[in-house]
Amino acid sequence: MTVPKLILDFLRENEGSAFCADCIKAHLKLLRRQQAQQATAALALNELVNCQMDFCDECFELAPKNFRRDRVDLLH
């Protein structure tokens, strides 16, 4: 299972919430925050997730937070 796939599944399970890279890293037990950042950046490029500066729903830090785009449902 690739990191981007794990992140998409995680965001799907938490529909309606958005998370910063730190929280995604913690939830998916990734070794490095950079893995979450790179994967979410790739997902955003492919328009599978939205990424915008806002307060994370979990840790409430101001950071780029990520949430699934509705469009994903059309792709599967």
The binding site for Zn ion (CB under 5 A) comprises: 20, 23, 56, 58-59
Q: Note the Cα 9 to chain centre separation in Å.
A: 9
- Smallest separation (angstroms) from Zn ion to the CB of 70: 22
Q: Which residue sits closest to Zn ion, CB atoms considered?
A: 56
Whichever of 16 and 74 has its CB closer to Zn ion, that residue is 16
Q: How many angstroms separate the CA atoms of 36 and 3, rounded? A: 7
CA dihedral angle for residue 33, residue 39, residue 7, residue 12, rounded to 10 degrees: 130
- Smallest separation (angstroms) from Zn ion to the CB of 74: 28
